Chain A
Amino acid sequence: MIHNAEVSYIPKKYHEAVCNWRDLYLPDYDLLMNNWDRFFPKDRPFQLCAYRSCNGCAVIEAGDNKGDPKYTRAAQMSEPQADTLLKAVKAQASTEFGSIQQHQLTLARAQDEQDQFWILRMMAEELRHGYQMFSLLLDDDWKSVSSHSGEDMVEEILAMRTGTHVLGAFNVDFDSFMDSIVFCAFIDRVGKYQLSMQKISSYQPMAQSMPPMLTEEAFHLAAGVVPLRRWVQKAAKDGDALITMPMIQRTINKWFPRALDMFGDERGGGTFVKFGFKPMKNAEAAGQYRDEVAQVIRDLNVRFVRARVPELSRKDAQRIVDEKEPGHGFDPEELLYVPDVKFFRRRGPHAYQQNDIDGEPIENKSEFQRRIRGYLSDVYAAGRDFGGYLKLIDRIAAGELTPPEAVPMLPNLSRVGGVCPCSKAVRWVNGNGNGEPADPGEG
């Protein structure tokens, strides 16, 4: 339930544009609405609107202007502040719409109806999150303080597709429903961090947008973790289970590095703190995230071990997991693990380094390419995202590029034809990759 929050709507023209976008990328929306009471009895019905929490601190909580009143209008900020904030709003909005496009690819392949409706509800809530970001762009006069207009940004975001989104994680195609579930557990968790940090934003409309979004995000994380727990239980009990531990691990290997990239370069984030938009720099937030992921993985492993060896107590199962203790009727190598932070990165100090899953360097390029394929699913390794990555690795090895030069080259942003539901215009989306820094966590 959304408590103590004011409801608002964006201007009709844009509201309709979002609805058109929804018809295109979330065609099962009506199915969700028609089955809402079946899967979510007693829950507040979904509404496509913006919520602003009525509570919240009135003074700036971090940075250079700590203690001053928070900004309630864009015009109260300096141009660099406004530009930095807009960059974050744009990236956030792009993630919301982008994830729906990804989930839509594999939604129909869910084996379990409940899992499917949880994901469908989550998609509708992501749409609302995008709508919420649009309300920030459209309710204020950004033109007065920045070279960007909110209206143009909304159009630009609605025209984005998998491959042209701001952050790498949202440009990767889903290959199976497992991607949907692992994405919720790992990528939405980064979303939770970004939202929690921005609860303190010095721009009050942003700060007040966060609590209702966080309420919904809590469900998104659980919609990933709970099915994962059930899958590891099945994998432990049933030798013929459709989903195995190595399959889950390969999916984690695909997403965890993208999740870390979403925090931005580990050396950056200072500008956001200075302007009072976030309380933590990138490295600190990414570190906390990594520890939380380790907790999720441990939880899944304990669930696996207790399902495999039911007579074990919780404490024994935890010890067996922590020490990878052999001799209990399964190979400890079957357990899940957290890839090293230096593995398969495309941003930050380890971008495009040839490291194995434990973070150890592999000098030889072909050896590296062979090994990294082995950590990933065949379908993903054959796809365009991984292909683009390998091309860059090749060019770096050939001395054509340095890793820092390669960083802004993915996503491979290109011309988006046609389908902007509100203008029908053909637009260029950050055409050459050398324009604005795409990362909300950078700076």
Chain B
Amino acid sequence: MTNGEINLRALSELDLDAVTAIDEKIGGKYRPDEWETRLMYYLRRDPDALVGAEVDGELVGFMLGDVRAGEFGMEEPAGWIEVLGVDPDHRGKDIGGRMLQKMFRNFRERGAKSVRTLVDAESQAPLLGFFGKSGFSETPVRTLEQTL
């Protein structure tokens, strides 16, 4: 099993440490509590819809999201990509792309007609590039905000 092949599978509670480690590698911070809370949220909703990518038996990427309806007054169910990460040592091998395709299949099976995500154009510019290349385009929906 050391042929470098990419294997996609659902995530489970056993992946907590590996997901935390990928995030740590990307952002430089060890944040186990945050990832426990986050993964727990998705695990109890629809564990099969979570995607992990393995290379040689090691988790190197993850993508979390779910299908929701009613967001921003848009009634039809849409898939939402919410959190993702690819191990910096494994970038550019289409791992993000493959996980995205798997996510699309899961969303379709669950009745979604479209897929959406939110990206901070300033702090997450690379993600904007990734989603752009993957066929996403900007919508007219704008986030408005004021301090309370």
Top 9 A-B pairs, shortest CB-CB distance: A218-B47, A222-B13, A219-B44, A225-B13, A3-B110, A222-B43, A226-B36, A1-B46, A299-B17
Q: What residue of chain B has the Cβ atom nearest to residue A298's Cβ?
A: B17
Q: Which residues of B contact A233 (CB under 8 A)?
A: 32
Q: Which residues of B contact A292 (CB under 8 A)?
A: 14
Dominant SS among interface residues on chain B: helix
Q: How far is the CA of A323 from the CA of B91 in the complex (A)?
A: 31
Q: How far is the CA of A44 from the CA of B67 in the complex (A)?
A: 12
Shortest B132–chain A CB gap in Å is 29
A residues in contact with B88, CB < 8 Å: none
Is B39 among interface residues, defined by CB-CB distance under 8 A? yes
Contact between B40 and A4, CB atoms less than 8 A apart: no
Interface string of A296-310 (1 = CB under 8 A from B): 100100110010001
Q: How far is the CA of A222 from the CA of B24 in the complex (A)?
A: 21
What A residues does B30 contact at CB under 8 A?
306, 310, 314
Scan A305-325; emit 1 where CB is below 8 A from any B CB, else 0: 010001000100000000000
Q: Is the CB of A226 within 8 A of B47?
A: no
A121 and B46 CA atoms in complex are apart in Å by 15
Alpha-carbon separation in the docked complex, A31 to B132 (Å)? 46
Q: Do B47 and A1 touch across chains, with their CB atoms under 8 A apart? A: no
User: CB of A43 within 8 A of chain B?
Assistant: yes
Q: Which of B12, B21, B111 touches A218 (beta carbons < 8 Å)?
A: B12
Of the four ranges (under 10, 10 to 19, 20 to 34, 35 or more), the interface on chain A belongs to 20 to 34
Contact with A along B94-117 (1 / 0, CB 8 A): 000000000000000111000000
The answer to whether B36 touches A43 (Cβ under 8 A) is no
Whether A1 contacts B36 by the Cβ 8 Å rule is: no
- 5 A-B pairs, CB-CB below 8 angstroms? A42-B45, A215-B47, A226-B13, A229-B32, A306-B30
Looking at chain A's contact residues, is the secondary structure mostly helix, strand, loop, or mixed? helix
Complex contact B46–A222 (CB within 8 A):
no
A279 to B124 alpha-carbon distance, docked (Å): 46
Please encode chain B, from 37 to 51, with 1 for each CB lying within 8 Å of some chain A CB and 0 for all others. 001100111111000
Interface residues of A in 186-218 (CB under 8 A from B): 211, 215, 218
Confirm or deny: B8 has a beta carbon within 8 angstroms of a beta carbon on chain A.
no
Say yes or no: A222 contacts B39, CB within 8 Å: yes
The residue in chain B whose Cβ has the minimal distance to the Cβ of A222 is B13
Q: How far is the CA of A314 from the CA of B87 in the complex (A)?
A: 14
Is there contact, CB below 8 Å, between A229 and B16?
Answer: yes
Question: Residue A3 contacts which of B14, B33, B111 (CB distance < 8 angstroms)?
Answer: B111
CB neighbours (8 Å) of B67 from chain A are 1
B interface, size bucket:
20 to 34
B: which residues have CB within 8 A of A? 12-14, 16-17, 21, 24, 30, 32-33, 36, 39-40, 43-48, 66-68, 109-111
Report A-chain residues with C-beta under 8 Å of the C-beta of B66.
1
Is A365 interfacial (CB-CB < 8 Å)? no
**CA–CA, A40 and B30, complex, Å:** 26
Taking the nearest CB of chain B, how far is it from the CB of A10, in angstroms? 25
* B24: nearest chain-A partner, CB-CB: A314
B17 contacts A226, C-beta separation under 8 Å: no
Known contacts A43-B44, A215-B48, A314-B17; 19 further A-B pairs (Cβ under 8 A) = A1-B46, A1-B66, A1-B110, A3-B109, A3-B111, A4-B110, A40-B44, A215-B47, A218-B43, A218-B44, A218-B47, A222-B13, A222-B39, A222-B44, A225-B13, A226-B40, A292-B14, A299-B16, A314-B21
Contacts of A121 in B (CB 8 A): 44
Looking at the assembled complex, report how far the CB atom of B60 sits from the nearest CB atom of chain A, in whole angstroms: 14
CB pair A1 B109 closer than 8 Å: no
Contact B36 A230 (CB under 8 A): yes
- The answer to whether A229 and B36 touch (CB under 8 A), given A219-B44, A222-B13, A314-B21, is yes
A296 CB, nearest partner CB in chain B, Å:
7
Residues of B with C-beta under 8 A to A222: 12-13, 39-40, 43-44
Determine the chain B residues whose CB is within 8 A of the CB of A303 once the complex forms. Answer: 17, 32
- Assess the A3–B47 pair: CB atoms within 8 A: no
The interface bits of chain A over 209-250 (1 if a CB of B lies within 8 angstroms of the residue's CB, else 0) are: 001000100110110011001100100000000000000000
Contact at B32–A218, with CB atoms within 8 Å?
no
Check if A221 sits within 8 Å of B13, measured CB to CB: yes
In the complex, A215→B45 CA distance in Å?
8
Taking CB atoms, residues of chain A closer than 8 Å to B44 are 40, 43, 121, 218-219, 222
A35 at interface by CB-CB < 8 Å: no
A295 interfacial by beta-carbon distance below 8 Å: yes
Query: What distance in Å separates the Cβ of A281 from its nearest Cβ neighbour in chain B?
Result: 24
Q: How far is the CA of A40 from the CA of B67 in the complex (A)?
A: 16
Q: Is the CB of B12 within 8 A of A221?
A: yes
Closest B residue by C-beta to A219: B44
* Minimum CB–CB distance for A249 against chain B, Å: 20
Query: Of all chain A residues, which has the CB nearest B30?
Result: A306
User: In the complex, which residues of chain A have a beta carbon less than 8 angstroms from the beta carbon of B12?
Assistant: 218, 221-222
Most chain B beta-carbon neighbours within 10 Å: one of A3, A292, A296, A310 = A3
CA distance A233 to B12 in the complex (A): 20
Chain B residue contacts of A42, Cβ below 8 A: 45, 68
Bits for A1-44, please: 1 = Cβ < 8 Å to B, else 0.
10110000000000000000000000000000000000010111
